[in-house]
Amino acid sequence: MRSDASPSAVAARSTGRAATGERPLSGALTEVGLDDGRTVVVKVADGPDAARAEAAGLRWLADAGTVRIPAVHGVDGRRLVSGRVAQGPADARAAQRFGRDLAALHAAGAPAFGAAPPGGPEEAYIGLAPMRNVTGQDWPRWYAAHRVLPYLRRAVDAGTVRAAEADVVERLCERLPELAGPAEPPARLHGDLWNGNVLWGADGHVHLIDPAAHGGHRETDLAMLALFGCPHLDRILAGYQEAAPLADGWTDRVGVHQLFPLLVHAVLFGRGYAEQALMAARTALRRLE
């Protein structure tokens, strides 16, 4: 398929239906109507393999048969064609149901920490930042080596984190086995579960978009939800706990799991997030004193 084809042409070829019109939603997103009454979204991804990684993640999450995930219709180079979610208001009952469904998604599991979705590339993305899916069987060591320290190094190289400040994050990584809580099997993570990727559907269900899916610790997804806020988070957590209770002390570990997205945001968006990451590391270390 030609990389310069219009969103309508991309959507038509991916779905086998004629396009009836298109409407830009943002610089990267275009809504395309089809002649069978459906509407799809054509997304232009930033990285060379980002669309393939996202498509593989969406399919892997959908295969669990738990949380609602938009259908993937096709990938054309950097463009992904997926179903559109008709949105409605945030609802407490939907939130509690989502908590139970998210627990079931995590329980679907992954072959290892860092495992990429089937068909997904090792060199993936979280938002605009590269993210390598390198596997490991020990969560604390894997999380330090492949989720925290790579972004710390990038932040230091960019001057967002000062070299003298990096020590607190490095010390936290050394002590992660003491901070990680009971060992858990790899969970099937959305991987970028902030509020913007949680869509409240008109059908009364929560739908998830834009994953950075991989095998990880289930508390990481929940910590991401808490980091940037989410409507009815208390009901989401109640539904989750009802279906799959979290290990004792999980609230004390939230900052440890938020360190990864905070450092990603420090790399992408600057010093404010670096300061939050440093504070999270200091707070976690103080619990060991």
Alpha carbon of residue 270 to chain centroid: 20
Question: How does the average pLDDT of the chain come out, rounded?
Answer: 95
**Helix 218-227 / helix 254-269 crossing angle, nearest 10 deg:** 60
Q: Above pLDDT 90, what percent of the chain?
A: 93
Complete domains list, the chain, with CATH = 7-83 (3.30.200.20), 92-286 (3.90.1200.10)
Task: Assign 283 to helix, strand or coil.
Answer: helix
58-93 pLDDT per residue, tens: 999 999 999 999 999 999 889 999 999 999 999 999
Phi-psi region of 238 (alpha: psi -120 to 50; beta: other; left: phi over 0): alpha
pLDDT of residue 47: 80
Helix intervals (H) in the chain: 7-15, 50-63, 92-107, 139-143, 149-157, 166-174, 176-179, 218-227, 233-243, 254-269, 271-286
**Structure confidence at residue 1 as a pLDDT band (50, 70, 90):** very low
Which pTM was predicted? 0.95
Q: Above pLDDT 70, what percent of the chain?
A: 99
153-185 pLDDT per residue, tens: 999 999 999 999 999 999 999 999 999 999 999
**Structure confidence at residue 4 as a pLDDT band (50, 70, 90):** low
Here the tokens at position 25 are 């939603």
Average pLDDT on 40-65 reads: 94
d(CA 208, CA 230): 13
Q: Is 252 a catalytic residue?
A: no
pLDDT of residue 3: 52
231-288 pLDDT per residue, tens: 999 999 999 999 999 999 999 999 999 999 999 999 999 999 999 999 999 999 999 8
Cβ atoms of 263 and 124 within 8 Å: the answer is: no
pLDDT exceeds 60 at position 6:
yes
Here the tokens at position 262 are 């905070």
pLDDT exceeds 80 at position 22:
yes
d(CA 146, CA 135): 9
Average pLDDT on 3-28 reads: 91
Catalytic choice (49, 192, 210, 221)? 192
pLDDT of residue 48: 82
d(CA 262, CA 252): 17
Query: Quick one: 255 exposed, middle or buried, by C-beta within 10 A (0-12, 13-18, 19+)?
Result: buried
